[in-house]
Amino acid sequence: AQSVTQPDIHITVSEGASLELRCNYSYGATPYLFWYVQSPGQGLQLLLKYFSGDTLVQGIKGFEAEFKRSQSSFNLRKPSVHWSDAAEYFCAVGKTGNQFYFGTGTSLTVIP
């Protein structure tokens, strides 16, 4: 069965510190992987995606993610967090037919 695990429910970091959000997936075929961000009361905004090729992908807002097939992971990173990055982050696996499986999300708090 397909599934996505985000082990960290909530993370707190200081502004300017680095960030890594973990994501592990279980999927039988080649995974189509995505990271989305959601601010309160809003929809989901795409940060980045991985389909194939270079395993380190760059996204918007200074985010990047690395696909590691051997670890079934797709962790999201940012070298220096800004207060505006506080939000909920979702990792997703896209299945044939545009059916997405989402993780439970990681809530990020940024301390000034």
Partner 1 sequence: KAGVTQTPRYLIKTRGQQVTLSCSPISGHRSVSWYQQTPGQGLQFLFEYFSETQRNKGNFPGRFSGRQFSNSRSEMNVSTLELGDSALYLCASSRIRLAGGADTQYFGPGTRLTVL
In the complex with partner 1, the residue whose CB is nearer, 76 or 81, is 76
x/- map, 48-87, partner 1, by CB under 8 A? -x-x------------------------------------
3-state SS of the chain: helix, strand, coil percent to 5? 10, 55, 40
CA distance 2 to 17: 33
Q: How many residues bind partner 1 (CB under 8 A)?
A: 26
Q: Which of 32, 62, 66, 73 binds partner 1 (CB under 8 A)?
A: 32
In the complex with partner 1, the residue whose CB is nearer, 37 or 110, is 37
Q: How many CB atoms lie within 10 A of CB 10?
A: 10
CA distance 88 to 90: 7
Nearest distance from residue 104's CB to partner 1, in Å?
Answer: 5
